[in-house]
C-alpha cells in the first residue's frame, strides 16, 4: 500500500505550481523537540501493544457499549473503562499515577485542562502550520442516571458553548488563521434512546413528512412546541429540549442572554453569553456514530443545515460526517450532495473511514442482520466516496467544503493528487484532519506543503478525558497497532539526533 503511494508520489511532477509530491518520510520531524518525539515514540509503542488496548484499556471489546445491544450490568461501558487508571492507581498511588498519565497518554493525545494550556498547545501547532479542531470529550453512559438526565445534556451544552468561545478566541493567537472548525457530538446533546426511536421512524416509508428537516428547523427557530405523533410524550419532550440545545449552539436569539460559567484558567465565573457558533464564525462538524443512530443524527444535521447552510449565510456552518466503511455511504453522499445542490444549500462533509467497525459487525452478527460495513479495507478504499466529494467540490466551488479525516498515507496522497488534477487550491474548500498526537509525520508534511490541516484536539481534566481516550484507543486499535511506521520514523529521527550529538561532543 505504501509502495503504491510512493510510486504514485514519485510519478507526479514537482514543477512549480504543480502537484507537490508529499514525503511522509518523517523529514518534517525536525520541527519537533526531542522530548516530544521521545514521548510520542514511547506512547505509540505502548498503545500498539495489543494486551494493553484489548485488556488494559478495556471498555469492553464486545458491543455492550453500543446502543443497539441491551446491556447487562457487567457490560456497562464505563464500569470497566478506567482499568488502566485503576491499575496504575493501585500500584503507584493516585497522585503519581495521575502524573504518569499526564506525562504519557494524556500529554500525547490531550491539549490540557485549562484554556491557557489549550492555547499553548494550539500555538505550538500553529507554528508547525497546523490548525485546531477542538472536541469536547463526552461519553454517554446509557446505564447511568446522572449521565443521561436532562441536566447532563444541559451541562454538555454549556461545555459546547465554551468550546465555541475557545475556538473563536484561538483565532486571535498568532499564526496562520482561516476557517474555525469544531467537532460536535450530537449524542452529548440528545439521548441515544431518542436517536434510536427517530432512526426507526425515519427508516419507515411515509414517516418522512412529519419528521422533515424543514419542520424540525421551523420548531428550532420558533421554539414552538413540536408534537411528533410517532413519539411518546417523554420522547417529544426530550426532542424539544434537544432541538433547543442545538439551536443554542448555533444561534442564541440576540434578545436572549444566556448566563454561562466562564471557562477560565483556575476560576469558574459567571458571565453573560450572547454569542453562538454562527456569529463567532465557528463551523460545526457533527460526528457520525453507530448505524443505529446515524439516520437520526443526519436528520438533525439536515434541520440545522436547512437554516444555517443557506447561501446568504456564507456557510456551510453545519457539516455532517460520512463513514466510508459503510456499504451505503457512497449512495447517501451522492443523494445528500445532490439534494443540497438542488435546494441551493452549502454542503459540508467530514469524510472518515469510520470508527465502529468491530461493533457494527458484532451487532449485525448478534441480530442476524446484514453486515452494514464493507468487507475489507480495499472495498472501503474503492467505495469512491473521496472521488465523489472532490469532484463535487470542484464543480460547486467554495459552497462545498470537505475534510479528509484520515491517517492513511495512501488516501491522503490520493486526495492531494486529485485536488491538483481538479484544480482545487491547496488552502481552499478541502482540508485534512488527524487526531492530536497521531500521524504527525503526515500532518506536518501536509502543513509544510501548504495544505489546510486540522488536528482534532480533546481537552479537559484527566478524569473527564480518560473514558474518551480509552474509547478512541479501542476504536482506533488497528490504527494504533499500525502506527509502526510512525514509530520507525520517530526512532530514526531520535537516532539521527543522538548520533549528531555524539559526533559533536569534543574529544
Which chain residues interact with ligand FAD by CB under 6 A? Answer: 133, 287-288, 321, 323, 325, 352-357, 373-374, 376-377, 380, 405-408, 433-435, 456, 475-476, 478-479, 482
Query: Closest distance between ligand FAD and the C-beta of residue 189, in Å?
Result: 15
Nearer to ligand FAD, 228 or 317 (CB): 317
Nearer to ligand FAD, 158 or 407 (CB): 407
- Alpha carbon 6 to chain centroid distance? 28
Q: How far is the CB of 352 from ligand FAD (least distance, A)?
A: 3
d(CA 434, CA 444): 11
Shortest gap between Cβ of 360 and ligand FAD (angstroms)? Answer: 10
Q: Which C-beta is closer to ligand FAD: that of 25 or that of 376?
A: 376
Considering the complex, state which of residue 251 and residue 434 has its C-beta at the smaller distance from ligand FAD.
Answer: 434
Closest to ligand FAD by CB, 52 vs 100, is 52
Q: Which set of grid coordinates corresponds to residue 414?
A: 490520493
Residue placing its CB nearer to ligand FAD in the complex, 85 or 138? 138
Say if residues 56 and 83 touch (Cβ distance below 8 Å).
yes
Q: Which is nearer to ligand FAD, 340 or 351 (CB)?
A: 351
Min. distance of Cβ 212 from ligand FAD in angstroms?
24
Taking the CB of residue 39, how many other CB atoms lie within 10 A of it? 18
Q: How far is the CB of 289 from ligand FAD (least distance, A)?
A: 7
- How far apart are CB 455 and ligand FAD at their closest, in Å? 8
CA distances from 458 to 70, 108, 445 (A): 29, 11, 22
Query: Which grid coordinates belong to 165?
Result: 468561545
What is the grid cell recorded at 65?
Answer: 457499549
Contacts 24+ apart (CB under 8 A), 29-32: 29/440, 29/441, 29/444, 29/489, 29/490, 29/493, 30/493, 31/128, 31/444, 31/448, 32/128, 32/440, 32/444
Per the rule left: phi > 0, alpha: psi between -120 and 50, beta: everything else, 167 is alpha
Q: How far is the CB of 272 from ligand FAD (least distance, A)?
A: 32
Residues 6+ apart with CB under 8 A from 408: 353
Closest to ligand FAD by CB, 170 vs 231, is 170
Cβ contacts of 440 within 8 Å, gap of 6 or more: 28, 29, 32, 40, 486
Q: How far is the CB of 433 from ligand FAD (least distance, A)?
A: 3
Sign of torsion, CA 354 355 360 361? Answer: positive
C-alpha to C-alpha distance for 312 and 326, rounded to whole angstroms: 33
**Residue (of 206, 301, 197, 190) closest to 240 by Cα position:** 190
**417 close to 8: Cβ distance less than 8 angstroms:** yes
Rounded to 5°, angle at Cα 184 from 64 and 450: 120
In the bound state with ligand FAD, the residue whose beta carbon lies nearer, of 301 and 340, is 301
CB 182 within 8 A of CB 135: yes
* Residue 6: count of CB within 10 angstroms of its CB: 16
CB of 327 to ligand FAD, least distance (A): 9
Measured from the CB atom, is 319 or 420 closer to ligand FAD?
A: 319
Nearest-approach distance from CB 247 to ligand FAD, in angstroms: 21
In the block, cell 494493553 appears at 52
Nearer to ligand FAD, 315 or 354 (CB): 354
Alpha-carbon gap, residue 380 to 245, rounded angstroms: 35
Determine how many CB atoms are found less than 10 A away from the CB of residue 343: 15
Helices (H), 33-93: 34-47, 50-51, 83-92
Report the nearest approach of ligand FAD to the CB of residue 132 (Å). Answer: 11
In the complex with ligand FAD, which residue's Cβ is closer, 308 or 319?
Answer: 319
Coil, strand or helix at 179: coil
The grid coordinates listed for 53 are 488496548
CB of 321 to ligand FAD, least distance (A): 4
Are the C-beta atoms of residues 423 and 98 closer than 8 Å to each other?
no
Min dist. Cβ of residue 89 to ligand FAD (A): 29
Cβ proximity to ligand FAD, 137 vs 354, nearer residue = 354
Amino acid at each position: 500500500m505504501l509502495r503504491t503511494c510512493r510510486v504514485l508520489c514519485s510519478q507526479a511532477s514537482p514543477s512549480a505550481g504543480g502537484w507537490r509530491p508529499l514525503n511522509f518520510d518523517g523529514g518534517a520531524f525536525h520541527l519537533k523537540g526531542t522530548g516530544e518525539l521521545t514521548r510520542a515514540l514511547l506512547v505509540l509503542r505502548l498503545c500498539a501493544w495489543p494486551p494493553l488496548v484489548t485488556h488494559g484499556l478495556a471498555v469492553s471489546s464486545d458491543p455492550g457499549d453500543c446502543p443497539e445491544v441491551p446491556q447487562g450490568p457487567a457490560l456497562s461501558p464505563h464500569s470497566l473503562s478506567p482499568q488502566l487508571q485503576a491499575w496504575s492507581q493501585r500500584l503507584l498511588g493516585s497522585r503519581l499515577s495521575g502524573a504518569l498519565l499526564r506525562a504519557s497518554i494524556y500529554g500525547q493525545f490531550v491539549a490540557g485542562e485549562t484554556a491557557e494550556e489549550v492555547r499553548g498547545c494550539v500555538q505550538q501547532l500553529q507554528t508547525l502550520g497546523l490548525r485546531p479542531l477542538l472536541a469536547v470529550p463526552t461519553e454517554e453512559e446509557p446505564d447511568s442516571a446522572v449521565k443521561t438526565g436532562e441536566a447532563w445534556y444541559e451541562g454538555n451544552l454549556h461545555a459546547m458553548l465554551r468550546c465555541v468561545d475557545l475556538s473563536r478566541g484561538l483565532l486571535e493567537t498568532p499564526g496562520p488563521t482561516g476557517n474555525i472548525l469544531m467537532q460536535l457530538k450530537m449524542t452529548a446533546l440528545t439521548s441515544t434512546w431518542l436517536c434510536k426511536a427517530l432512526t426507526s421512524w425515519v427508516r419507515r416509508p411515509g414517516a418522512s413528512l412529519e419528521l422533515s428537516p424543514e419542520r424540525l428547523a421551523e420548531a428550532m427557530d420558533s421554539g414552538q412546541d413540536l408534537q411528533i405523533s410517532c413519539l411518546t410524550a417523554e420522547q417529544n419532550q426530550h426532542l424539544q429540549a434537544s432541538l433547543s440545545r442545538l439551536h443554542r449552539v448555533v444561534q442564541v436569539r440576540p434578545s436572549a442572554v444566556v448566563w454561562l460559567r466562564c471557562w477560565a484558567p483556575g476560576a469558574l465565573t459567571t458571565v453573560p453569553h450572547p454569542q453562538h457558533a454562527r456569529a463567532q464564525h465557528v463551523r460545526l462538524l457533527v460526528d457520525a456514530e453507530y448505524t443505529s443512530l446515524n439516520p437520526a443524527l443526519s436528520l438533525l444535521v439536515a434541520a440545522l443545515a436547512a437554516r444555517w447552510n443557506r447561501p446568504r449565510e456564507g456557510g456551510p456552518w453545519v457539516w455532517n460526517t460520512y463513514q466510508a466503511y459503510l456499504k451505503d455511504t457512497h449512495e447517501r453522499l451522492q443523494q445528500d450532495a445532490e439534494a443540497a445542490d438542488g435546494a441551493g444549500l452549502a454542503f459540508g462533509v467530514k469524510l472518515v473511514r469510520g470508527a465502529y467497525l468491530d461493533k457494527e459487525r458484532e451487532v449485525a452478527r448478534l441480530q442476524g442482520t446484514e453486515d452494514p460495513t464493507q468487507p475489507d479495507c480495499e472495498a472501503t478504499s474503492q467505495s469512491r466516496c473521496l472521488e465523489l466529494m472532490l469532484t463535487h467540490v470542484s464543480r460547486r466551488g467554495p459552497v462545498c467544503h470537505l475534510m479528509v479525516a484520515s491517517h492513511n498515507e495512501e488516501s491522503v496522497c490520493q486526495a492531494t493528487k486529485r485536488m491538483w488534477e481538479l484544480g482545487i487550491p491547496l488552502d481552499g474548500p478541502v482540508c485534512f484532519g488527524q487526531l492530536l498526537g497521531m500521524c504527525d509525520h503526515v500532518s506536518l508534511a501536509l502543513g509544510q506543503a501548504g495544505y489546510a490541516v486540522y488536528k482534532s484536539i480533546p481537552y479537559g481534566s484527566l478524569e473527564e478525558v480518560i473514558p474518551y481516550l480509552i474509547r478512541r484507543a479501542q476504536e482506533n486499535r488497528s490504527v494504533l497497532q499500525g502506527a509502526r511506521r510512525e514509530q520507525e520514523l520517530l526512532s530514526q529521527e531520535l537516532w539521527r539526533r543522538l548520533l549528531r550529538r555524539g559526533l559533536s561532543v569534543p574529544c
